């Protein structure tokens, strides 16, 4: 039984390019983001990876990334489940602001705390801890049981929602997880043991 779980952060979005806090806002992919998603699909195809089901968020950039990966695999008709539980962290009042402008308004140290601490949310938004509390129950209820039944699962989502999963899979702590950066369009390929721990992990980095 393979117990395959692949995590993929969406390709570059228009707001990534503009250095804006995005969160639950819904910009599309840039041309580079489209190519990053397609390249992710090609790398998975080269590894012989196939999926039985895909999960994504309620946001366009993740959904399109998921669709482009599956298109490259010749699996565009794959059952795909979209749920806001997998959405990016909500940046609240920071959403839509340029990160440099936010630093000018609140100070570099405060913005760094909001971005990189585990449990301090920005005004009106979510901390990484809040995001973990949203993502993990959904994963335990909807995604992990499928993996453990032997289904091959793709999750195309966001930097922070996927960090919540990587934190558990890789056994990271609340001190180390804020420093983890997941690159756009780079699949993480996990194979799990029968006790749900990680048997192997492979990062299909850019060529």
The residue assigned the tokens 């993740």 is 62
Which candidate in 10, 36, 126, 158 is catalytic? 10
The answer to whether 16 is a known ligand-binding residue is yes
To the question of whether residue 11 is assigned a binding role by annotation, the answer is yes
Tell me if 99 is assigned to a ligand binding site. Answer: yes
Contact 61, 161 (CB under 8 A): no
Q: Is 190 annotated as a binding residue?
A: no
Instruction: Return the CA Rg of the chain.
Output: 16
Task: Tell me whether residue 90 is annotated as binding.
Answer: yes
38 is known to lie in a ligand binding site = no
* Selected catalytic residue, list 36, 88, 126, 158: 88
Q: Is position 45 annotated in a ligand binding site?
A: no
Q: Is 36 annotated as catalytic?
A: no
Q: Is 12 annotated as a binding residue?
A: yes
Known catalytic residue: 181?
A: no
Catalytic site positions: 10, 88
Q: Which residues make up each annotated binding site? A: 9-16, 22-23, 61, 88-91, 99, 115-116, 159-160
Q: Which residues make up each annotated binding site for substrate? A: 9-16, 22-23, 61, 88-91, 99, 115-116, 159-160
């Amino acid at each position: 039984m393979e117990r395959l779980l692949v995590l993929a952060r969406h390709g570059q979005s228009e707001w990534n390019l503009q250095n804006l806090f995005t969160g639950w806002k819904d910009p599309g992919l840039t041309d580079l983001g489209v190519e990053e998603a397609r390249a992710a699909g090609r790398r998975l195809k080269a590894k012989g990876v196939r999926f039985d089901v895909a999960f994504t968020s309620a946001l366009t950039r993740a959904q399109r990334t998921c669709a482009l990966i599956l298109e490259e695999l010749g699996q565009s008709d794959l059952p795909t489940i979209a749920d806001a539980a997998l959405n990016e962290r909500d940046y609240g009042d920071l959403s839509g602001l340029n990160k440099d402008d936010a630093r000018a308004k609140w100070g570099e140290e405060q913005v760094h705390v909001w971005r990189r601490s585990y449990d301090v949310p920005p005004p009106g938004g979510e901390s990484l801890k809040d995001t973990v509390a949203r993502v993990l129950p959904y994963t335990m209820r909807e995604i992990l049981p499928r993996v453990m039944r032997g289904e091959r699962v793709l999750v195309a989502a966001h930097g922070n929602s996927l960090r919540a999963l990587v934190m558990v899979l890789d056994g990271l702590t609340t001190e180390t997880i804020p420093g983890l950066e997941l690159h756009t369009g780079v699949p993480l390929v996990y194979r799990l043991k029968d006790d749900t721990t990680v048997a192997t992990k492979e990062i299909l980095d850019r060529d």
